[in-house]
Amino acid sequence: MQKSTNNSRLDPYQTKTPTTTLQLDSFLNEKKVLGQFLKLAVSKKIPVCGTDTGRFLELACMLKKPANILEIGCGIGFSTYFLVKHLSLKGAYTGIDMNGERLREAENFISGIFSGKNLAFMAGNAIKMIPGLTGRYDMVFIDASKFEYPLYIKIIKNKLLPGAIVIADNIFYKNKVFSGEAGAHDAGSVAGIRKYIDYISKNLGFRTVFFEVGDGLGISEYMP
């Protein structure tokens, strides 16, 4: 009897389509570029969100499909990459950071990759700048001064669209938010995060969950 030549049970990687190969190559290239960018940030001692947090942001944006994104504390643009990767050409992104030098790095990095998208980078104090913004947002990422987290959420509340998602990074703050072991250097940050958690947990306008991703993420849905 002639042996069957059906290869349907072979390793699927042996039968990759050209499209699958291109997608894999693109992912590997992206991983390499982001890895180099992350190493650069570490070498300069510039705080950035981890890759796990970045991928979480990417997934959140894929599912939510936000039309108008606000990032408070965009740094050199590592987290920004994941936020705007799937942003449509009709969408818009606004990033605010106190550090003008880092903001320029973010703008150069992100604009060089996503040149056709509507991107705005603003240097300054977010607490002072947000009230002057004319847009309303359906996705907000907060990763700036931790002691100011309670102020950020109160200021942006009137800028949120119904159903907007607010993601706050470092919500566990090296577990010091729960352990009570914060020293003098971290006391202000820990106190700020605790006030933020208290506000979004008790405010009826938000439905909040916490994820053990990176240094902790707080994800709040705005439901006025």
Contact, 196 vs 149, CB < 8 A? yes
Q: Show the tokens assigned to 119.
A: 């991107």
Q: Which residues have C-beta within 8 Å of that of residue 191, sequence separation ≥ 6?
A: 147
Q: What torsion do the CA atoms of 217, 220, 221, 224 make, to the nearest 10 degrees? A: -170
- In tens digits, what is the pLDDT along the chain, a chain of 224 residues? 444 444 434 333 344 455 677 788 888 888 888 888 888 888 888 888 989 999 999 999 999 999 999 999 999 999 999 999 999 999 999 999 999 999 999 999 999 999 999 999 999 999 999 999 999 999 999 999 999 999 999 999 999 999 999 999 999 998 888 887 777 788 999 999 999 999 999 988 999 999 999 999 999 999 99
Other CB atoms within 10 A of residue 61 CB: 22
- Tell me what pLDDT residue 38 has: 87
Quick one: pLDDT at residue 8? Answer: 38
User: Position 50: which residue type?
Assistant: G
Report helix, strand or coil for 145.
coil
142 contacts 97 by C-beta, under 8 angstroms: no
Please report the pLDDT score of residue 3 as a whole number: 43
Q: What percent of the chain has pLDDT over 70?
A: 91
